Structure 1
Amino acid sequence: MALLEASGIVKIFGKLTALNGAALTVGENEFHGLIGPNGSGKSTLMKCVAGAETPTQGSVRFAGADITALSPAERARAGMSLKFQITSVLPALSLYDNILLALQAQASLLDLVLSRTRGALHDQVMTMLQQFRLAERARDPASALSHGQQQWLEIAMALAAKPRLLLLDEPTGGMSLEERRVTGELLAPIKAHCSLVIVEHDLDFIRDICDRLTVLDQGAVLETGTVAEIQASRSVQEIYLRRA
C-alpha cells in the first residue's frame, strides 16, 4: 500500500485551472521529486496534499485513510510535515529554542504547564542540531544564520514531530552550490524512517537524491518514473526546451 495517494486533483482559482486531474503516489521510505516548468502546478499540488489548499475535485489518501477534508493540523497529527519555500524560523530565538518549541508542540498540556519538557527534551534538541550540523551554533539567534543554515534549521524543526512524510517546497532556493550539496547529505539519512516529497527547480539536486520523479505540465501529470526514465523521456525534454 502506498503511503500517499493523491488522485484526480483539480484546483480552480476563479477562471484559472491550476491543476487538472493531477496525481501523485509515494511509497514508504521513498524520496519523490515533483518537477516541471514554472506555472505547471507543483506548489499548488503540494499545498493540496498538505491541506493548505482544498482541491476543487479529487482525493488525498494518507496511510490508507482519506484525508481530503482534514485541516493541516489534523494532517500533521496523522504524520505529515510541511516546509514551505519561505523560512518560518523565529529569528530572535536561539537555534536551541527553535528546536525546543518544535518538540514541545508534541508534548502534553500538563507537561508544558509543569515545565517538565525543557530538561527532558535537551538530548533530543542537541541530537537534531548535531544531525543538521548546527550544534555549535545552539545558543546563537536564528537571525545570525546564513540563508542555507536557516533552511536546515527549519527542516530540523519539521522533523521534530517524527513525521512519516515530509513535504519540502524548494528547500534549496537561494542556496550556494556548497549549501545545496550539504542539504542533500543532510536529507539522505531520514529515508530510514520518513518518506519525502520535494518540489525543486535544481534538477541536478533532485536527480541525486530522489528515487522517483513526477513531471507536471500545465496542471497535469506528464510522466512519472525513475530518474533514469524521466531523463530519457522525449516528452519531458520537449517541455523544458519549449519553456527555456
Structure 2
Amino acid sequence: MPLLEATGIVKVFGKLTALDGAALTIGENEFHGLIGPNGSGKSTLMKCVAGAEMPTQGKVTFINRDITLLSPTERARAGMSLKFQITSVLPTLTLYDNILLALQAQSSLFDLVFSRTRGVLHDQAMMMLSQFRLADRAHDAAAALSHGQQQWLEIAMALAARPRLLLLDEPTGGMSLEERRVTGELLQPIKQHCSLVIVEHDLDFIRDICDRLTVIDQGRVLASGTVAEIQANKSVQEIYLRRA
C-alpha cells in the first residue's frame, strides 16, 4: 500500500489548466523527485498534495485515508509537513527558539500554559540543530545565518512534527554548490523514518538523492520511474532535457 497516492489531479485557474490528470505515488521511506520545465505544474501538484491548493478534480490518499478536502493543518496532523521555497524562519529569534517553537507546536495546551516544555524539549532541540550542523549557532539570531543555513533550519523545523512525509519545494534554490552537496548529506538520514517529495531544478542534486522521479510537462505526467529509467526515457530526453 503506497504512503501517498494522488490520482487524476486537475487544477484550473480561470482559463488556465495548470494540471490535467496528473498523478503521483509515494512509497514508505522513499525519496521522490518532481522535475519538469518551468511552468510545467510541479509546484502546483505539490500544493494540491499539501492542501495549499484544492484540486478541481482528482483524489489524494495519505496513509490509506482520503485527504483531498482536508486543510493543510489537518494534513499536518495526519503526518505531512511542507517547506516552501521562500524561507519562513523567524529572523529575530535564535536558532534554538525557532526549533523550540516548532517542537512546542506539538505539545498540549496544558504543558504550554504551565511552561513545562522548554526543559523537556531542550535535548531534542539541540539534537535537531546538531543533525543539521547548526548546534554551534544555537544562540545566534536566525537572520545571521547564510541563505543555505536558513534553509537547513527550516527543514529541521519542518521535521519537528516527526512527519511520515516531508514535502520540499526547491530547497536548494540560491545555494552554493557546497551547500547543495551538504543539503543532500543532511537529508539522507531522514529516510529511516520519513518519505520525501522534492521539487527541484538541479538535476544533479535530485538524481543523487532520489529513488524515483516523476516528470511533469504541461500539467501532465510525462514519465515516472527510477532515476535510470527516467534518464533513458526518450520522451524525457526530447521534451524535458531539451527545454530545461
Quick check: TM above 0.5?
yes
Counterpart AA for 2:218:
Q
SS at match of 1:139: coil
Matched, 1:188 2:191: no
Aligned to 1:152: 152
Q: Does 1:20 align with 2:38?
A: no
Partner SS, residue 17 of structure 2: strand
Residue in structure 2 matched with residue 40 of structure 1 by the alignment = 40
Letter in structure 2 aligned against 1:211: D
Match for residue 122 of structure 2? Answer: 122
TM alignment of 1:152-231, pairs within 5 A: 152-231=152-231
Matched, 1:94 2:117: no
Secondary structure of 1:100 counterpart: helix
- Structure 1 residues without counterparts, runs of 5 or longer: none
Which residue identity is paired with 1:229?
A: E
Q: 1:62 and 1:114 mapped to 2: Cα distance?
A: 35
- 1:242, 1:109 → 2: CA distance? 53
Does the Cα contact within 8 Å between 2:168 and 2:198 map onto a contact in 1? yes
CA deviation vs aligned residue, 1:20-61 (integer Å, no higher than 9, x gap):
000000000000000000010000000000000000000000
Tell me the TM-score normalised to structure 2 length: 0.99
Cα offset for 1:240? 2.7
4+ long deviations beyond 3 Å: none
| Identity, % of aligned positions | 86
Question: Deviations along 1:192-232, whole A, 9 cap, x unmatched?
Answer: 00000000000000000000000000000000000000001
Aligned residue pair count: 244
Alignment of 1:64-103 (within 5 A): 64-103=64-103
The 8 Å contact of residues 217 and 240 in structure 2, kept in 1 or not, is answered as no
Render the CA deviation track for 1:128-157: whole Å, top value 9, x for unaligned: 000000000000000000000000000000
Closer, same or farther: CA 114–14 of 1 in aligned 2, 3 Å:
same
TM-score (ref. length: structure 1): 0.99
Q: CA deviation at 1:241?
A: 4.5
Q: CA deviation at 1:242?
A: 4.1
Q: List gaps (5 residues or longer) in structure 2.
A: none
Which residue of 2 is the match for residue 29 of structure 1?
29
CA distance in 1, matches of 2:169, 2:69: 22
